[in-house]
Structure 1
Amino acid sequence: MLRWTLHKRTDQNPRTSCTLVSILVKELERAERGDLRHYIIPLLHTLMYTLIQAPCIPDELCARVYDFCKRLLTLPKPFCTIGLDYASRLQLERTAPGTLFQRMVISEHSLPSAPFPFQERIFIFADPELLPEAICKALATDTEAAQVSQSRRGCMSCVVTHALQAALGDTCDTHGLRARLQVTQQLLPCFSLVLLCLDTLEKQKALPAGDVELCFQQVVAAVEGSAGGSGRGQHRARLERIYQGILGSSPAGNAPQEGLQGTPLPNPNISFHLWTEDEQLWKELVLFLRPLSQSCEPEGPGQGLEAAELPELLPGCGCCGQSRFSVLSTDSGIERDLPAPDEPCAPCAERRRLHRKGGIKKKPSPLDSVALLQAGSAVPGEKPPGKTPGRAGMPPEPAAPRRRLHTARVVLLGDDRILGRLAQAFHSLRKREARRVFLTPRLDLQFYHIPVVPSAAAVSAGAGSLGDHAGPEELCEVAGYLGRADPWYESNINTLCHIIPKLATMPSSPSRALVTDLFLPDVIAYYARMGTQPVLFQVHSVKVLFQDPAQDPAEDVFLTELLVQVQESPSHRELSTAKRKSTLDGPGMDLTVTYRRVVLSDRQKELALALRSTGLLMKAIPAEEAEGLGCLSVTVTEIIKSSHLAGRSFSAVANRFRTRIIKVRSPEQRPFTVRLDKDSRRTYRDVIGLDVSPCLEPSYCLQKTRTTKLSPQETEDVGLVKYLPKSLLLPINTFAGVIP
């Protein structure tokens, strides 16, 4: 709340930007001298967020920040990583002031820009079965209210105004610019709007929408051209000509001396989704890449979706279900021979004409796999895909990988149960991508987590058979680990765990939809913009064997924990036998546990246990940071029988060990239940055995299978397999990652 208030005050009073930056730089230098590293990253994030929004910062002050970021390169991760990222951004900002603000607004609102064609969107997912209706409704209302205040023209006007003021400084007539560009009311503070109406609204006539877009394109071209290497003087001269073209013949020096008037940073494009379908995440990402208006247009061989998947993924397009397969082509190849697009959903009709059934599928070449490997390292500035002409006798260079122009920031609201569901969806997505690459070369997928725990009554009512795990701390183990690893995440994000339910129960104001300073959208935007350091969580796979031999084994994944409990309702045939046996052997059931123990020397040592137990708990999230994220902490509750003069007694002893691979069997074929990720909806009954191991990356498994078929004698990873990631890791972004 304090950080949000600080940024809002700076936003409303831009004159304090230079003072705040100067104070933050002094605090950073003092933390560096005192070796107080845990203060560096929070101060640096606050400083950069202020620099992006500030209308004009002196170059001497930017130079001090730039030098400090360069000194961070001598420190270990994550300090050197964040320092390098911010140093490269500051170098751009010093060359062409306003570049960071401009690029952020263009990408977040998908504004048309040829020099910078990147797009971003924030997807908020909440499970309606885990959160009360009041919380979901409040989040949807705030998100919708934040989007109502944004408009295409308003965002373009903000980019133009901020770029001109960053280049011209105090000589820029901000009020005149706003009047000509007609900045919308929602994007201006109230006092600026009053001044605008009194001083310049009647003096200046607003530009048409087409002229505003033309000015926007000119400013973007000038700023991106200056960021490419031209000097700061040429940058100022270019923007001064654009400024004079907007305001007329009045020179820049005739601006009223009113000081700095900042331009508020618009909220990003945020969409709120109730996670009701298993494939909903995949569908939303596909529609982000290929909207309904473009989803049916063929993009190239092997780049589109399967014909059978299109009707399923695009339910809003009714005529997609009427696709037919043609054998004979009736297309003359002449554009004017095509029918006029007056029939409904012309792209779908075009796809029906051009789609063909059958055909020979070409076997993927090794270059395709190489392109998939290189897709993860695609960065802006690479040459576009295509063939380059080579010299005579020289083979042509392979096509460059497709640039990732889209970034999807998926924010999960809830506790560990929704993260378990995310692990399922992520594993399904990776399996789909291994079979046919579609999202990987085009989309940069980022995951974020905001813990939300409703009241204790709602937790106990919705948790089902959670039992002892119904507490907020047990339901938010991932958020607790992230808070221990990153103190800035703890103070900014983990504190929302109890704030969001309180905000949802507050009475709504009639003018809430008109309020621009919405707390939750602003905090989510700050987290998505500044949280760029991922923490990698190992996803574990589990194979469940059932009591019925006719039932196929089930395969699933989990992220946080797996719980094994003795099944309470045995069949009628086994009821009398189980009662007699339990009186003799005590409570619980016989289990055989085989596992590979994790030791410091990293040597594999396989052990086996045969014991009587009432339950078994595997936790993948360590209670302490030093334990690491790659192992399972297993707790087996063993029943010890003792005999004495008074008779027999039974006591429970907890056996704890760490492992990566474990197998559990019931030698008596007595069933037990298995629950994954604390979610009662993911419970397996009548289980007699399970195998748990780290989940492998599906692309690694597929390539390993192909290599094994070609070279059955090879046991080690050879060829492309050794360059692929072996384990499936779920990245969740924080502000600093794991601070050692």
Structure 2
Amino acid sequence: MESTEVESDILRRVRTLLRELDGHHPACQCNRGMLRWTLHKKIDQNPSNSSVLVRILVKELERAERGDFRHYIIPLLHTLMYTLIKAPCISEELCGRVYDFCKKLLTLPKPFCTIGLDYAIRLKMERTTPGMLYQRMVISEQSLKSDPYPYQEKIFIFADPDLLSEAICNALVTDMEAAQVSQSPQACMCYVITHALQAALGEGCNSTSLKRSLQDMPMSDVEHWFGQVVTAVECAGGQGSTGRSQHTARMEKIYHDVLSSCPAGDAPLGGLQGTPLPNPSFSFHLWTEDDQLWKELVLFIRPLSHTCEPSCLSQDLDNFEIPDIVSDCECCQQSRFSVLSTDSGIERDLPAAPEEPFSPCSTETEQSRLQRKGGIKKKPSPLEGVAFLQAGCNGPGVKSPAKPKRKPGIPPEPPAPLQRLHTARIVLLGDDRILGRLAQAYHSLRKRETRRVFLTPRLNLQFYYIPVVTGQPDTLAAADHAATGQEDLCEVARYLGRADPWYESNINTLCHVIPKLATMPSSPSKHLVTDLFITDVIAYYVRMGIQPVCFQVYAVKVFFSDSVQEPAEDVFLTELHTQVQDSIPHRELSMTKRKMTLDGPGIDLTVTYRKVVLSSRVKELAVSLRSTGLVMKTIPADEAEDLVCLNVNITEIVKINNLSGRSFSAVANRLKTRYIQIRSTEQRPFTVCLDKDSRRTYRNVISVEVSPCLEPSYCLQKTRAMKFSLPETEDVGLVKYMPKSLLLPINTFAGTIQ
């Protein structure tokens, strides 16, 4: 009877979760997302109910597939997989049903087939080797030392101190520190050992005795058994389904050896007990420097604690060197890395080769040779020196820097390919303005990688976005889409919420929950109320958010009224706004007033653009008008609008002659384009603001050119192709297979559902 009540309660919670996706849940918008969190928390309190929840979720998935409820599939599948990863033991029959359902998704369009394929691959590994998904997640997230599985992950949370208050930042840091208090390496290793043995042995594992034995062990013994378990699991995963029985026998031997090595006394045989899934390794950063993102990623790959001696220089980067042709690429006009050479170029300073006999020289000959005076040696910054980038990059998949002598006649060994052993998950907290800074940093990073490839072959880079604004909880409600200016700062979040309902339920709800966390009183009850809700949701997002939504980054070139001043080049992601400049020199003030009286407010502009048409034919148009300003938006306002283009709204001033005299009215002109140029014909300046960020405002502008930002590597390859072949308008060779535009991927749970 009790099991029936538990099953009914879980089914009721799951059905309530589905009603929330339909928007029929009566709860306040700010409380959305709590249902999923409370459901997982309930299972964590009683892990033996994991199988009950998985069985219910499988039934609901099958019902959603039969009916017209496709928008339920991805949220239910993410909930199921998260439960299955944390579950102490799931039967083979239940795993098989989930696996068969994921294979059925391969017949559906994206993103269903993509997510189904990814989860089918994971489930196949889990069926072969129970506990592998949990083990790999903990090892990578906690950066535990493991030769069989050397992958590492880290979550970088970036917040702009100019956009978020100090109280919010302090509250987030406190919450994250509290989430990682009990996450020592030894504790995480014990979690991996316990979960792997439980998953392999099921009811035959006495979890109480096992945990007690591991707690009494010294660190060296825990590391030993951790290595044994990881090796056993990874080896079984490589053998396929044929090694399932051998894996069980090997894990049973490890289990008995652990218990015998440290007697735990008489412990009652209990049922399956849950093993906590520790939160990932977080690091919180206030974004104060433009190149801070690149610096943190380099330090993640190559910590400062490692030595950077020249003798340790890795030669693998030489295979990724870009020749000097980069300097001819228009999009890459940025200073290159400087290599400090120890070779003076003077023959006398060269060391004598051991193979050649040393020929003595007379004193006169020695003194007649060039002498070099002592100079000042510049000590490069550890983050800027090439030695820092190249040193210590040896590891699994990286060739050793030492070059052993090879025998003549034997061809040299090809260098081992670099492996992406590191994954950096960048979580942005803020509004559209911090995404604009991210677009700048990402473009700069791609340009660096074009000149000297270092991060790209070693690092998986993933971006996540959590909107945070201050205001009332209902400012992001669907009924207020045309409301306050505060809401205009969350266009990207609203677009992602429309594209992915699960993102809307779980992530957009944090928009006002995080500021509330900062205002809560610091008392023992605070932690009871929050229970690390923010940290848990961020961990769920980065673990299950695997589908990117790609946003086009746009390049802008700004020309100034002062001809001496060089044009400025920048990028933006969401919006470009122009406005007539207020500050006018005194000598032009009277002439300007006379002009405004005759022609109305604003300035005369010439707008040249390429019209976007469904046939994709290029149609260039040019118009002249008088305007007070314009706004270019890149985020579609309508979810049905899928054209990747700029939506330009120009406020045109129209002169009207009537009996009462001359008057002026403002008319909104709308156009769609990918390439546009705006020029002030009367040389009166205007201001340009990028991504709604007042810190990125250009003044005294007379002309602006906007176009899709090109991928720097594409520019490089196209320049090389044009140098070694006849100039052609079509992309030839390798260029036509490379991504042309620079896209910024932001991960969600489902991507864009078709």
| TM-score normalised by length of structure 1 | 0.83
Match in the other structure for 1:435:
451
CA contact (8 A) 1:620 1:629 kept: no
CA contact (8 A) 1:469 1:475 kept: no
CA contact (8 A) 2:608 2:677 kept: yes
Matches within 5 A, 1:49-60: 49-60=82-93
Structural RMSD (CA):
3.1
Match in the other structure for 2:176:
143
CA distance in 2, matches of 1:626, 1:398: 51
* Structure 1 residue 401: Cα displacement: 3.3
Matches within 5 A, 1:6-17: 6-17=39-50
Q: Which amino acid aligns with 2:536?
A: D
Q: Which amino acid aligns with 1:223?
A: V
SS in 2 for 1:27: helix
Matches within 5 A, 1:324-343: 325=342
CA distance in 1, matches of 2:484, 2:694: 11
CA distance in 2, matches of 1:355, 1:557: 28
String of CA shifts for 1:248-281, please: whole Å, max 9, x gaps: 18999x9733211110100000100000000100
SS in 2 for 1:536: strand
Say yes or no: does 1:609 pair with 2:647.
no
Say yes or no: does 1:450 pair with 2:462.
no
Equivalent in 559, 567, 572 of residue 573 of structure 2:
559
Q: Which amino acid aligns with 2:193?
A: V
Match in the other structure for 1:244:
256
SS in 1 for 2:565: coil
Match in the other structure for 2:81:
48
Structure 2, unpaired ranges of 5+: 1-33, 322-339, 355-378, 388-395, 476-481
* Structure 1 residue 469: Cα displacement: 9.6
Matches within 5 A, 1:56-71: 56-71=89-104
* Structure 1 residue 325: Cα displacement: 4.2
Structure 1, unpaired ranges of 5+: 183-205, 307-322, 334-347, 357-381, 460-467
* Structure 1 residue 714: Cα displacement: 3.0
* Structure 1 residue 92: Cα displacement: 0.5
CA distance in 1, matches of 2:410, 2:737: 27
CA distance in 2, matches of 1:302, 1:639: 61
Q: Which amino acid aligns with 2:541?
A: Y
* Structure 1 residue 132: Cα displacement: 1.2
CA contact (8 A) 1:55 1:162 kept: yes
SS in 2 for 1:595: strand
Say yes or no: does 1:92 pair with 2:158.
no
Match in the other structure for 2:542:
528
SS in 2 for 1:303: helix
Matches within 5 A, 1:66-85: 66-85=99-118
Match in the other structure for 1:683:
697
Equivalent in 103, 117, 127 of residue 136 of structure 2:
103
Equivalent in 561, 575, 590 of residue 576 of structure 1:
590
Match in the other structure for 1:256:
268
* Number of corresponding residues: 647
Equivalent in 187, 190, 210 of residue 154 of structure 1:
187
Q: 1:220 to 1:424 in 2, by over 3 A?
A: same
CA contact (8 A) 1:673 1:687 kept: yes
Q: Which amino acid aligns with 2:711?
A: E
CA contact (8 A) 2:576 2:692 kept: yes
* Structure 1 residue 148: Cα displacement: 2.3
Say yes or no: does 1:585 pair with 2:618.
no
Say yes or no: does 1:618 pair with 2:632.
yes
CA distance in 1, matches of 2:472, 2:41: 33
CA distance in 2, matches of 1:280, 1:274: 9
CA distance in 2, matches of 1:721, 1:209: 53
Match in the other structure for 1:363:
none
CA distance in 1, matches of 2:449, 2:570: 18
CA distance in 1, matches of 2:574, 2:103: 38
CA contact (8 A) 1:408 1:444 kept: yes
CA distance in 2, matches of 1:398, 1:133: 53
Equivalent in 227, 236, 257 of residue 237 of structure 2:
227
Q: Which amino acid aligns with 1:153?
A: Q
CA contact (8 A) 1:287 1:295 kept: no
Match in the other structure for 1:319:
none
Q: 1:516 to 1:677 in 2, by over 3 A?
A: closer
Matches within 5 A, 1:655-674: 655-674=669-688
- The farther-off stretch of 698-707 and 435-444 is 698-707
SS in 2 for 1:628: coil
Moved over 6 A (4+): 249-252, 329-333, 382-387, 392-397, 511-516
String of CA shifts for 1:41-98, please: whole Å, max 9, x gaps: 0000000000000000111000000000000000011000000000010010011100
CA contact (8 A) 2:217 2:262 kept: no
Equivalent in 47, 50, 54 of residue 21 of structure 1:
54
Q: Which amino acid aligns with 1:111?
A: L
SS in 2 for 1:94: helix
Equivalent in 201, 210, 230 of residue 220 of structure 2:
210
CA distance in 2, matches of 1:228, 1:294: 33
CA distance in 1, matches of 2:561, 2:106: 58
String of CA shifts for 1:395-430, please: whole Å, max 9, x gaps: 889656311000000000000000000000000000
| TM-score normalised by length of structure 2 | 0.81
Q: 1:634 to 1:274 in 2, by over 3 A?
A: same
CA contact (8 A) 1:170 1:260 kept: yes
* Structure 1 residue 383: Cα displacement: 7.4
